[in-house]
Structure 1
Amino acid sequence: MNKYKIVSTIVTALMLISIGVFAIPILSQTSSSVQPEGSMVVVASPVGTWQDNFNPWNDPNNPAYMGLWLIYEPLALANPLNGEIIPWLATNWTWTTGYVTTSNGTKIQTLALILYLRHDVYFTDGTPFNATAVWYTIALEQAYPQLGQLAGDVANMTIINPYELEIVFKPGQTPIILYTVLEQWIVDPAQWGKLFPVEQLPNGTFVALNKTGNPFTYANPNPIGTGPYMLYSYSPQQIVLVANPHYWMPGEPRIKYILFPAEASNVPADTALNNGQITWAGLFEPDIQQNFVAKNPAYYHYYFAPSSPQMVLFNDMRWPLTDPVLREAIYMAINRTAIYYLGEYGYEPPTTTPLPLPLQMLNVLNSSVLQMAEQIAPPQGNVTGALQLLESHGYKLVNGQLIAPNGTPVPTMTIMAPAGWTDWDADLALIAQDLKQIGINVQVQTPPFSTWYNYMQTGNFWMGMIWDLITGPAPIFYFQGYMWNWWNSPGNVTPIGNTTYYNMERFNLSARLSPNSPLVNQLVYYAWGNITNPTVENQLINELALAWLKYMPAFGVVYGANWYEYVNNTVTGWPTPQNYYWPAPPWESTGITPLPVVLALHLVNQSVPEPWWYYTSQVPQSWYTSNDPFVYQPTSTTTTSTSTTTSTSTTTTTTTSTTTQVSTSTVTSTTTQVSTTTSTVTQTVTSSSSNTGLYIAIAVVVIVIVIVGVVLALRRR
């Protein structure tokens, strides 16, 4: 072989090697999972894994954590920051007078509400949103009381016209029920009515026609709503929502995809946040300034606004927690200041009272009630006072074991929080240490979120840490969650084993402040009825506070932080400490309705300046066909035309006092041909282009150096 062939062979080999060097990263970029431009990753809290359940009444995932608030919409929203009501699917409403006829023919005057609904709104299956949809949703709750919300509250409904509905409430309802009506998520009657048809009898009674099915346990794997997003894909590890192309707000939403990964605990979630892999979070993180902000101060931000108390619930039906003296002593023994510093890293200050009220609402209490609440136990706890209280009521501390007045040792109890919530896990360990000092042995349990949530709802617990059950624009909301009898309960207290959200601690709602005072749940009812009369309502709130201090159904530990982190290198429009225009955590809710939908519709992706739908023609076809919308095979740009058949169903229902109605009455279907043009394009990660140039430059330099070296060596020969 002559020297020129040798040179040629060497050069060719070097070129192939060099091409391979920079080709490898190119191939890895194009074949790996690519997150589409304009998307956003949201982690509200660790959940373990997602369950394939999108039931708006009974979602074990927690609707606020997995984006159900972007699929279903309420009639209106209440801003907890200022009490403002924002019309949504309903544009207005009017109180009027209704009448209910008793079995003996007597007419009783009662409250009635007329709803005026938004026009030109559609469910994502093409069904129009109208009075029928609202009628069906509320009727379903009357026919299946376990659904809650308005269950058992409605006497009759009449569809006045396609966009007006009158709701006549049963006697005894007060104006505060407006909040429950307006926060109601509306479901598609074309979807749910096929499975769970409902009939309204001439006397106004609502009857379930499906005698075997149960909408409360229906998993609803294909959620259909009017919201800005639709379910794109589900897996136990990630839920993906895609923007609704027919949303009723012009130009919204401007974020095309929202991803909800299922994080097992705060540790991997915090790691992903610190690495910039999460856009919007509601996570607890130790030393967030150093671990998160310092990594990219220009774009990594957080704001932990003060919130309502983080609560510990007692199971008041489980001995010996049936004794309010023991419950008060447990509260007194806990060092809430230690929890503030050691468990919550100084983010959440200790509560000044055991009451469920947020710090900014304590001013509704009169001075004597507030002083009494603050004196029960200082923030650092009072073990001596707790033991004295117990001994004065017949308890004894014998060899470190608390003995009940009946001579029985107080059994070992458990206290629960969801697995992976590292700050709550630390809080519970501190609580267990404190209770050991008064002779109570407590074991900490951290089951998966869905298990913990189920146990709390069904009463299968001793003690459990939870967020404040209800928030709202008035103090009564904060007491309502613990001191009001709701649904699925034959008596004042939901039995253990039956699911409930309100009065989850199983507190005896027939308790009184004194022998002649109203029942506790009556006080709540009276406060509801006077929500428009602050003087009377505040008096009732003070009475409820006294009842709380007397019976201690639950207690606040720290004033919870509104965990909220965001990355604004591409997405802008976030609330800031200077402009906190809306509650910012992705898990925030008021009453039954999560609130982040408002914030989500304020957000804009700077890399997508036009509304998201401007880019639909550029979305790769495989994003619509693959199980994973972010993995596709790069191909040359082609254009395909597809014909889609869409069925639009219109259901008409008229409700009167003399006509039997069924939600699944005559359905008229029309077929529309829609031509959709999509282009398949090759998309690469931005950083890959710059890296590719670097690899090419290195390869060229290597080739030149080797060629020069070989030529010089041959000349010497």
Structure 2
Amino acid sequence: MWKRLVISSLISVLILLSIGSFFIVTSQSSSTVQPEGSIVVLASPVGTWQDNFNPWNAPTPADDGEWLIYELLAQVNYGTGQIIPWLATNWTWTTGYVTTANGTKIQTLALILYLRHDVYFTDGTPFNATAVWYTIALEQAYPQLGYLANYVANMTIINPYEIEIVFKPGTTHMILYTVLEQFIVDPAQWGKYFPVEQLPNGTYVGLNKTGNPYTWQDPDPIGTGPYMLYSYSPQEIVLVANPHYWMPGEPRIKYILFPAYASNVQADTALNNGQVTWAGLFEPGIQQNFVAKNPQYYHFFSPGIRPQMVVFNDLRWPLSDPVLRQAISLAINRTAICYLGEYGLEPPTPTPLPLASPMLSVLNSSVLQLAEKYAPPQGNVTAALQLLESHGYKLVNGQLIAPNGTPVPTMTIMAPAGWTDWDADLALIAQQLKQIGLNVQVETPPFSTWYSDVESGNYWMAMIWDLITGPSPIFYFQGYLYNYWNSPGNVTPIGNTTYYDLERFNLSIIHPTFEQLIQWAWGNFSVNDAVYNNIINQLAVLWIKYMPAMAVVWNAEWYEYVNNTVTGWPTPQNPYWLGAPWENLPTTPLPVVLALHLVNQSVPEPWWYYTSQVPQSWYTSNDPFVYQPTTTSTSTTTSTTTTTSTVTSVSTTSTTLTSTTTQVSTTTTVSTSTTTVTQTVTSSSSNMGLYIAIAVVVIIIVIIGVVLALRRR
């Protein structure tokens, strides 16, 4: 009997060990282990990521790390006015000339950019004047791309690291900020699909007559930035440090993970549970739910200086009536939105203007008083109804009747799904507008749908962030009145994809027009303060009269961080950069400057000595930041050019200046090496299954031996 008991016990132990080892191995293989030296960034809820990294038109918020892949010519901090040279090390204004069709030369502005040496795209293509020329030329050939579209008359590559940009007549010095915020794409990659030719008259022509670079799906981003795409899934994007980055010793964080969450609720839970290192999230009760859990390491710092806006689609009746738009601004209870929608974290704006809070000081007392009248903190329903009735509207049984006797139709107001504070704000606005007889329904589509609808004009009202920022008030007005969602700087026809169109305001009957005032402000910026300030005040008065959009609350720069192992964060004591990990060019300084300040103290520096997760093929010398390309080369020769045309032939292997035509070749062969990166986990977890399997085999052998011995007896 005892023999059977021993055998049964041993078999039971074997079964339990086998089952346990199965579950342990299964749990080890299915769990996601965060790589050493990495951080998790959660800028905002997105639902799922899209496999598209087109820097001009990503279908999801550009919180997926594009700002770490593509780089700008300079970094501009609109919080302090600081400009940091980046891919351009310097720039000089000069005089340029544009030749008209009849041969007349017109003097205009020109800018010479001096570019950084020894910078490479991650496919090995050198960054130089050719890359800058191609990127800007692409925007001229396809104006829907925006940025410098329709501003450039001509470009000349002076040498591989100097390029002159001649602007069209009427352009002012303020174009500098747009130039510096220009990100640069790889001509070897983009030129294969969208070659560009510069004609002798300076016109830029896209040779791809069927494709559109704005809508092109780019799953393989190639840039000069500190990070490169490591892996993509709809639930998570992972970037890995670029070992050939031009800035010595950077970056010091090896991996950056961007998880996707469907809503603020899920994202806030991850933040509170310590699963996120750097976030830009709205969370009710953040002090209690997040900071109080670990006040030594969990921090929240979100100053608010820019307005959160509601835009009106004034192409739709009755929102085409500016009186109705004024009444809506009057009726809104901004204080309730602050405390009930934003939990007191975003104070009400004192005016409906799009200006940042420090810039309200430019307004004279009478204009400021007028602006404050249309944004009463508690709302003024009585004043709103009086305004409407004085223009022929009537409130009948709680329904607003238009001057033509037609009931005002049900309208909608929308924000992206999962943005819980905005959703709450809209519910409050809809409730408040019932008091003036408006029936407004709240819509919360997925971000991509919201983006597309606002972009195409398929909306009534929508909550958005501010469209553009800058070092002076004119930038903020320009973002709504003269800059566009897709094509900043271009006057696009009614019905084309744009947030705003000058023609929507019937400016032909307004004198001076918004457009004229903005042009005058640009011309007098930093030239004549009195004239400039007067123009800003005129723009403010016109804004109030036509109310194209209204400010609601001061938009906080949501910023949370965990510094138990990662240091280098902006703090209230050292706010060297805005902390939010968003990329909303040109509304927010890119967080790349902040990212390059970060150091993971748990991984001794320099990070590249820890090569367990970095392929050996990445290393080309003892200094991993000295790139030694073997598949591409660059040579430049210069010949005589004329004042009327400068033409450049650009390929992936050579740059040649001639005097006939300019185009990016589509026939050049690009030879690059491909490296397969395999993510692994730490050795202790990856080898656990092997150890368990060996232990099980040993136990089986022991049991078999015992059983055989017992049988012999």
| 1:495 Cα deviation from its structure 2 partner | 2.1
Distance 2:198 2:614 in 1: 48
| 1:518 aligned residue | 512
Give the aligned residue type for 1:683: S
Distance 1:482 1:673 in 2: 44
| 1:648 aligned residue | 632
Q: Tell whether the 8 Å contact from 2:95 to 2:109 is kept in structure 1 after alignment.
A: yes
Give the aligned residue type for 2:150: G
Distance 1:202 1:677 in 2: 46
| 1:548 Cα deviation from its structure 2 partner | 0.7
Unaligned runs of 5+ in 1: 625-643, 697-717
Deviations 1:146-198 (A, max 9, x none): 11111111111000000000000110100111111110110000111111111
Q: CA RMSD in A?
A: 3.0
What secondary structure sits across from 1:581 in the alignment? coil
Q: Tell whether the 8 Å contact from 1:30 to 1:683 is kept in structure 2 after alignment.
A: no
| 1:470 Cα deviation from its structure 2 partner | 0.7
| 2:138 aligned residue | 140
Distance 2:629 2:581 in 1: 36
Q: Which of 583, 588, 591 lines up with 1:596 in the alignment? A: 591
| 2:524 aligned residue | 530
Distance 1:399 1:258 in 2: 57
What secondary structure sits across from 1:230 in the alignment? strand
Distance 1:474 1:251 in 2: 35
Distance 1:659 1:352 in 2: 58
What secondary structure sits across from 2:94 in the alignment? strand
User: Structure 1 residues 310 and 679 mapped into 2: Cα distance closer, same or farther (>3 Å)?
Assistant: closer
| 1:399 Cα deviation from its structure 2 partner | 1.2
Give the aligned residue type for 2:478: Q
| 1:36 aligned residue | 35
Distance 2:324 2:244 in 1: 57
* Structure 2 residue 663 is matched with structure 1 residue 662: yes
Distance 2:673 2:440 in 1: 64
Q: Which of 480, 505, 510 lines up with 1:508 in the alignment? A: 505
Q: Tell whether the 8 Å contact from 1:493 to 1:508 is kept in structure 2 after alignment.
A: no
Q: Tell whether the 8 Å contact from 1:485 to 1:493 is kept in structure 2 after alignment.
A: no
Deviations 1:330-369 (A, max 9, x none): 1101111111111111110111000011212211111111
User: Structure 1 residues 531 and 590 mapped into 2: Cα distance closer, same or farther (>3 Å)?
Assistant: farther
| 2:573 aligned residue | 578
User: Structure 1 residues 671 and 348 mapped into 2: Cα distance closer, same or farther (>3 Å)?
Assistant: closer
Give the aligned residue type for 2:125: T
TM-score, structure 2 as length reference: 0.87
* Structure 2 residue 535 is matched with structure 1 residue 557: no
Distance 1:682 1:12 in 2: 34
User: Structure 1 residues 592 and 297 mapped into 2: Cα distance closer, same or farther (>3 Å)?
Assistant: closer
- Tell me which moved more, 23-32 or 310-319: 23-32
Deviations 1:360-396 (A, max 9, x none): 2211111111111112231100000000000011111
- Tell me which moved more, 469-478 or 481-490: 481-490
| 1:294 aligned residue | 292
User: Structure 1 residues 666 and 96 mapped into 2: Cα distance closer, same or farther (>3 Å)?
Assistant: farther
| 1:576 Cα deviation from its structure 2 partner | 1.2
User: Structure 1 residues 319 and 621 mapped into 2: Cα distance closer, same or farther (>3 Å)?
Assistant: same
Give the aligned residue type for 1:99: Y
User: Structure 1 residues 315 and 506 mapped into 2: Cα distance closer, same or farther (>3 Å)?
Assistant: farther
Distance 1:620 1:97 in 2: 49
User: Structure 1 residues 682 and 320 mapped into 2: Cα distance closer, same or farther (>3 Å)?
Assistant: closer
Stretches of 4+ moved more than 4 A in 1?
A: 5-26, 485-494, 504-507, 620-624, 665-674, 676-682
Distance 2:617 2:235 in 1: 18
| 1:528 Cα deviation from its structure 2 partner | 1.6
| 1:667 Cα deviation from its structure 2 partner | 5.0
User: Structure 1 residues 184 and 461 mapped into 2: Cα distance closer, same or farther (>3 Å)?
Assistant: same
Deviations 1:667-708 (A, max 9, x none): 58678899x99998853469x99xx9xxx9xxxxxxxxxxxx
What secondary structure sits across from 1:122 in the alignment? coil
| 1:253 Cα deviation from its structure 2 partner | 0.9
Q: Tell whether the 8 Å contact from 1:114 to 1:167 is kept in structure 2 after alignment.
A: yes
User: Structure 1 residues 91 and 622 mapped into 2: Cα distance closer, same or farther (>3 Å)?
Assistant: closer
Deviations 1:88-125 (A, max 9, x none): 00000000000000000000000000000000000000
Q: Which of 315, 331, 334 lines up with 2:332 in the alignment? A: 334
| 1:545 aligned residue | 540
| 1:683 aligned residue | 683
| 1:632 aligned residue | none
Give the aligned residue type for 2:526: T
What secondary structure sits across from 2:245 in the alignment? coil
| 1:706 aligned residue | none
User: Structure 1 residues 542 and 489 mapped into 2: Cα distance closer, same or farther (>3 Å)?
Assistant: closer
| 1:270 Cα deviation from its structure 2 partner | 0.8
Distance 2:402 2:116 in 1: 60
| 1:284 Cα deviation from its structure 2 partner | 0.8
User: Structure 1 residues 579 and 620 mapped into 2: Cα distance closer, same or farther (>3 Å)?
Assistant: closer
Q: Which of 266, 272, 275 lines up with 2:273 in the alignment? A: 275
Distance 1:536 1:490 in 2: 23
| 1:19 Cα deviation from its structure 2 partner | 5.7
User: Structure 1 residues 491 and 73 mapped into 2: Cα distance closer, same or farther (>3 Å)?
Assistant: closer
What secondary structure sits across from 1:437 in the alignment? helix
TM-score, structure 1 as length reference: 0.86
Q: Tell whether the 8 Å contact from 2:44 to 2:280 is kept in structure 1 after alignment.
A: yes
| 1:531 Cα deviation from its structure 2 partner | 2.1
Equivalence map 1:403-442=2 (5 Å): 403-442=401-440
| 1:62 Cα deviation from its structure 2 partner | 2.3
Give the aligned residue type for 2:35: P
Q: Tell whether the 8 Å contact from 1:283 to 1:565 is kept in structure 2 after alignment.
A: yes
Equivalence map 1:62-461=2 (5 Å): 62-63=61-62, 65-461=63-459
Q: Tell whether the 8 Å contact from 1:457 to 1:504 is kept in structure 2 after alignment.
A: no
Give the aligned residue type for 2:218: N
User: Structure 1 residues 201 and 344 mapped into 2: Cα distance closer, same or farther (>3 Å)?
Assistant: same
Deviations 1:255-299 (A, max 9, x none): 111111111111111111111111111111111111112222222
Q: Tell whether the 8 Å contact from 2:49 to 2:235 is kept in structure 1 after alignment.
A: yes
User: Structure 1 residues 372 and 622 mapped into 2: Cα distance closer, same or farther (>3 Å)?
Assistant: same
User: Structure 1 residues 170 and 653 mapped into 2: Cα distance closer, same or farther (>3 Å)?
Assistant: farther
| 1:591 Cα deviation from its structure 2 partner | 1.7
Deviations 1:636-693 (A, max 9, x none): xxxxxxxx9963354434456x32011228858678899x99998853469x99xx9x
Q: Tell whether the 8 Å contact from 1:159 to 1:654 is kept in structure 2 after alignment.
A: no
Q: Tell whether the 8 Å contact from 1:316 to 1:506 is kept in structure 2 after alignment.
A: no
Give the aligned residue type for 2:51: D
User: Structure 1 residues 54 and 400 mapped into 2: Cα distance closer, same or farther (>3 Å)?
Assistant: same
Distance 1:222 1:677 in 2: 14
| 2:711 aligned residue | none
Give the aligned residue type for 1:520: F
Q: Tell whether the 8 Å contact from 1:78 to 1:473 is kept in structure 2 after alignment.
A: no
User: Structure 1 residues 484 and 290 mapped into 2: Cα distance closer, same or farther (>3 Å)?
Assistant: same
Distance 1:622 1:665 in 2: 32
| 1:707 aligned residue | none
| 1:635 aligned residue | none
Give the aligned residue type for 2:494: P
User: Structure 1 residues 424 and 685 mapped into 2: Cα distance closer, same or farther (>3 Å)?
Assistant: farther
Distance 1:611 1:307 in 2: 37
Distance 2:673 2:392 in 1: 78
Question: Percent of aligned positions with the same letter in both sequences?
Answer: 71
Distance 1:400 1:212 in 2: 53
| 1:439 Cα deviation from its structure 2 partner | 0.6
Distance 1:146 1:590 in 2: 16
- Tell me which moved more, 482-491 or 465-474: 482-491
| 1:485 Cα deviation from its structure 2 partner | 5.3
Distance 2:493 2:449 in 1: 19
What secondary structure sits across from 1:648 in the alignment? coil
Give the aligned residue type for 1:647: T
Give the aligned residue type for 1:58: N
What secondary structure sits across from 1:482 in the alignment? helix
Distance 2:410 2:672 in 1: 65
Q: Tell whether the 8 Å contact from 2:69 to 2:226 is kept in structure 1 after alignment.
A: yes
Give the aligned residue type for 1:663: V
| 1:307 Cα deviation from its structure 2 partner | 2.7
Distance 1:296 1:681 in 2: 27
Distance 1:292 1:24 in 2: 37
| 2:51 aligned residue | 52
